[in-house]
Amino acid sequence: MSARLTPGDEAPAFTLPDADGNEVSLADHKGRKVIVYFYPAALTPGCTKQACDFTDNLDVLAGAGYDVIGISPDAPQKLAKFREKENLKVTLLADPDKKVLDAYGAYGEKKNYGKTYMGVIRSTIVVDEQGKVEHALYNVRATGHVAKIIKDLGI
């Protein structure tokens, strides 16, 4: 389990396939602010709620200069199904080997019903125009999270 990021850290560079298999890099967004959120699994209730909230608020976020990228360990084909089923507009990236999840501190030990296991820690990292971490939020709730980010960012 890697260390969590803190404001001021350099955001780890990444290049991952999107739902269509196209490579997307953090560097593609240089000069814009990016909200990178990590979620456990496409097509599950909490992750669907969160992705729909980001999609519903995409115009507001984009208008304030933010791009939104969702990353999960799902395969691109599953992400495409998720996007189509829920009519999602956010960029969804696949990280099946969990290297980016790990680099961002979004993969590690979790506890649920008394059991300890390794899994995706629902997290949101806001990266500024220079590629530095502006906000690092870990163990966030799927419901109400997007509204909280908008409030915290003063949008």
Is 52 known to be catalytic? Answer: no
- The catalytic position among 34, 36, 47, 80 is 47
Q: Which structure tokens are listed for 45?
A: 């209730």
Q: Are the CB atoms for 13 and 26 separated by under 8 Å? A: yes
Active site residues: 47
